[in-house]
Amino acid sequence: MYRALKREIVRKALDHHGIAADVEDIVEVPPGTRRRATMKAKLEGGRVHLGFHAARTHDIVDLEECPVLTPSLTALLPGLRDMLADMLAPAGDAELRLTATDAGLDLGLRWRRPNDTATLGALAKWAAKFKIARISAHGETVVSLATPSVRLGKARVDLPPETFLQPTREGEAVLQGFVIETLAKAKKVADLFCGCGTFSFPLAEKARVHAVELEKPMLEALAAAAKATPGLKPVTTEKRNLFKRPLTEFELNAYDGVCLDPPRAGAFEQAKVLARSKLKRIAYVSCDADSFARDARVLIEGGYTLTRLMPVDQFLWSSHIELAAGFVRP
């Protein structure tokens, strides 16, 4: 029933946009593999409530354990409560962005406390006690015991604070494999909405890659890792707002493959230009079925064939589903 409900989300989105396509079996990640999470915290009546918002409310579902998160993140919850009980007093709330990386845990805080000496001293002691690699507040590093990093293909990428990563390593590997297979014949690839290089680095083992991203810190991390990694084809980078200024037909025609990994809003403007281009192959990774189906309709009307559509469930026991799709032009 659970898998059927998730497939139905995809099917409804496709039907809404008039797309007939075979939907492959859902690929599920195992429990206990979610490496990043955004939690809410609130101090009320001397007790810290820490967890996620209940559906369609601002009520916090207090967590004692979580079968979805990695063991390292779950193990941190009691320590987080202790720290927040002191730091949020006498009352207050916070948003916590947690990421498990190869170098240790990365914690991003958004709260109303100033970065004064007392706050920084308390955070430094807490980080040392619980072996937190880095703590940032509003995107600014305030405690650094190690540089959070991840392995992407052959590259080790040092992560800026609050970096976007695929939710699980297991799901990331599935998506990387799909993209590599879809663009296997491409020798020159544009990786659009590239982030820190989730797909750029695996692709660069066989193809020249031009990586395009709006967020400068992530692009700089990608460029530094590419420079430090031997055995890759050339990787170039470009800071660009693809919502407002998508790659033009002339630019796209210089490539024989494109990887798209946009945020939930999708890549509508870029899809319209792709539909007018001569580009042969597209690998599209989506975190929203409806925006994907909208963009897919544009590509199909422009002459592309949707060859594969694979759902990937990295958000277990939720209504969220990701998609990986391949498009080719005759």
Sequential pLDDT tens for the chain (330 residues): 778 889 999 999 999 999 999 999 999 999 999 999 999 999 988 889 999 988 778 888 888 889 999 999 999 999 999 999 999 977 799 999 999 999 999 999 999 999 999 999 999 999 999 999 999 999 999 999 999 999 999 999 999 999 999 999 999 999 999 999 999 999 999 999 999 999 999 999 999 999 999 999 999 999 999 999 999 999 999 999 999 999 999 999 999 999 999 999 999 999 999 999 999 999 999 999 999 999 999 999 999 999 999 999 999 988 899 999 999 999
- 116 annotated among ligand-binding-site residues: no
Gap between the Cα atoms of 199 and 116, Å rounded: 39
- 193 annotated among ligand-binding-site residues: yes
Q: For residue 56, what pLDDT is reported? A: 77
Amino acid at 138: H
CATH of the domain at 241: 3.40.50.150
Question: Within this chain, do residues 53 and 92 fall inside the same structural domain, yes or no?
Answer: yes
Question: Within this chain, do residues 318 and 174 fall inside the same structural domain, yes or no?
Answer: yes
Residues with a catalytic annotation lie at 287
CATH of the domain at 139: 2.40.50.1070
pTM of the predicted model over 0.85: yes
Gap between the Cα atoms of 105 and 142, Å rounded: 14
Task: Give the SS3 label for residue 180.
Answer: helix
Q: For residue 109, what pLDDT is reported? A: 97
The number of folded domains in the chain is: 2
Q: For residue 63, what pLDDT is reported? A: 87
Residue 215 covered by a domain: yes
- 181 annotated among ligand-binding-site residues: no
- 261 annotated among ligand-binding-site residues: yes
Question: Within this chain, do residues 62 and 204 fall inside the same structural domain, yes or no?
Answer: no
Residue 154 covered by a domain: no
Question: Within this chain, do residues 276 and 144 fall inside the same structural domain, yes or no?
Answer: no
Question: Within this chain, do residues 18 and 82 fall inside the same structural domain, yes or no?
Answer: no
Question: Within this chain, do residues 141 and 178 fall inside the same structural domain, yes or no?
Answer: no
Task: Give the SS3 label for residue 87.
Answer: helix
Structure tokens at 259: 């990887």
Gap between the Cα atoms of 214 and 240, Å rounded: 5
Contact 53, 59 (CB under 8 A): yes
Domain end position, chosen among 83, 118, 149: 149
Q: For residue 197, what pLDDT is reported? A: 98
Q: For residue 64, what pLDDT is reported? A: 84
The DSSP bridge pattern shows strands 305-313 and 281-286 to be unpaired
Question: Within this chain, do residues 6 and 99 fall inside the same structural domain, yes or no?
Answer: no
Contact 260, 282 (CB under 8 A): yes
Gap between the Cα atoms of 281 and 299, Å rounded: 11
Question: Within this chain, do residues 110 and 173 fall inside the same structural domain, yes or no?
Answer: no
Contact 213, 237 (CB under 8 A): yes
**For helices 2-16 and 289-301, what crossing angle results, to 10°?**
40
Q: For residue 45, what pLDDT is reported? A: 83
Contact 144, 130 (CB under 8 A): no
Question: Within this chain, do residues 97 and 192 fall inside the same structural domain, yes or no?
Answer: no
Residue 157 covered by a domain: no
Q: How many residues does the chain have?
A: 330
Q: Which domain, by its residues, includes 86? A: 36-149
**For helices 268-276 and 289-301, what crossing angle results, to 10°?**
20
Domain end position, chosen among 149, 181, 205: 149
Q: For residue 165, what pLDDT is reported? A: 96
Question: Within this chain, do residues 263 and 208 fall inside the same structural domain, yes or no?
Answer: yes
Residue 232 covered by a domain: yes
